[in-house]
Amino acid sequence: MKALVIEENKQVKAQLLYLFLASFFVTALVVCNLIANKFIEIDLGFKVFVISAGVLPYPITFLVTDLLSEIYGKKKTDWVIFMGLGTSLFVLFLLWLGNQFPAIDLSPVNDEQYMAVFQNSKKVILASMLAYLSAQYVDIRLFHFWKKQTKGKHLWIRNNFSTILSQLLDTTLVVCILFIGSLSNSTILEMIQDGWLFKVICAFVDTPIIYLAVYSIRRYFHISPNEELAI
Q: What is the pLDDT of residue 122?
A: 65
Tens of pLDDT, residues 171-208:
888 888 778 877 888 888 988 888 888 888 888 888 89
For β-strands 2-4 and 227-229, DSSP reports them as parallel
Q: What is the pLDDT of residue 167?
A: 83
The torsion angles phi and psi of 93, rounded to 5 degrees, stand at -65, -40
Residues contacting 91, CB < 8 A, separation 6+: 30, 33, 34, 125
Q: pLDDT class for 21, splitting at 50, 70, 90?
A: very high
The pTM of the full predicted model, rounded to 2 decimals, is 0.81
Q: What is the pLDDT of residue 104?
A: 92
Neighbours of 92 (CB within 10 A): 18
Section 67-86 average pLDDT? 89
Query: What is the percentage of the chain residues whose pLDDT exceeds 70?
Result: 94
Cα distance between residue 181 and residue 202, in whole Å: 30
Q: What is the pLDDT of residue 132?
A: 74
Q: What is the pLDDT of residue 5?
A: 56
Query: What is the percentage of the chain residues whose pLDDT exceeds 90?
Result: 16
In CATH, 2-229 is 3.40.1350: no
- Angstrom CA distances, 65 to 42, 47, 79, 117, 118, stand at 25, 28, 11, 29, 28
Section 53-75 average pLDDT? 87
Section 4-16 average pLDDT? 76
Q: What is the pLDDT of residue 12?
A: 85
Pick the closest to residue 202 from 34, 66, 17 (CA basis): 66
- Strand, coil or helix: what is 99? coil
- Kindly report which listed range (36-45, 72-81, 153-162) carries the lowest average pLDDT score: 153-162
Pick the closest to residue 61 from 96, 93, 94, 88 (CA basis): 88
> Does residue 128 carry a pLDDT above 90?
no
Section 43-58 average pLDDT? 86
Cα distance between residue 147 and residue 1, in whole Å: 10
Q: What is the pLDDT of residue 24?
A: 92
- Kindly report which listed range (48-52, 64-68, 115-119, 184-188) carries the lowest average pLDDT score: 115-119
Q: What is the 3-state secondary structure (H, E, C) of 214-226?
A: HHHHHHHHCCCCC
Q: What is the pLDDT of residue 1?
A: 56
147 vs 111: which has the higher pLDDT? 111
Q: What is the pLDDT of residue 156?
A: 83
Cα distance between residue 104 and residue 204, in whole Å: 48
Query: Mind giving me the DSSP string for 17-45?
Result: HHHHHHHHHHHHHHHHHHTTT-EEEEE-S
